[in-house]
């Protein structure tokens, strides 16, 4: 059951970060972060990407290979 709680935790965090990213894109009237001049060093985007990786790995350490 602990893994289910962890999965829920990672999924919840991912949903929160996705919502924040989408709100930022809407506020800046862009469809992608690539269209934003603040893409370099953006904490919102960085947090979203980290939550995607965490969701995929479920918190396991190590690198990702694509």
- pLDDT tens by residue, 42-53: 999 999 999 998
d(CA 22, CA 3): 28
Range of the domain at 17: 2-56
- Give pTM, 2 decimals: 0.77
Specify if 46 maps to a domain. yes
Specify if 43 maps to a domain. yes
Specify if 27 maps to a domain. yes
Number of domains in the chain: 1
* DSSP designation for 36: -
Q: What is the pLDDT of residue 1?
A: 42
Residue numbers in the chain where pLDDT is lower than 50: 1-2
Specify if 12 maps to a domain. yes
d(CA 55, CA 10): 5
Specify if 62 maps to a domain. no
CB burial of 37-65 (b: ≥16 within 10 Å; e: otherwise) equals eeeeebebbeebeebbebbeeeeeeeeee
Q: What is the pLDDT of residue 8?
A: 80
């Amino acid at each position: 059951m602990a893994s289910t709680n962890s999965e829920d935790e990672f999924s919840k965090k991912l949903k929160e970060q996705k919502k924040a990213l989408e709100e930022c894109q809407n506020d800046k009237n862009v469809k992608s972060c690539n269209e934003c001049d603040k893409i370099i060093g953006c904490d919102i985007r960085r947090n979203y990407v980290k939550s995607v990786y965490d969701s995929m790995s479920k918190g396991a350490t190590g690198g990702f290979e694509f």
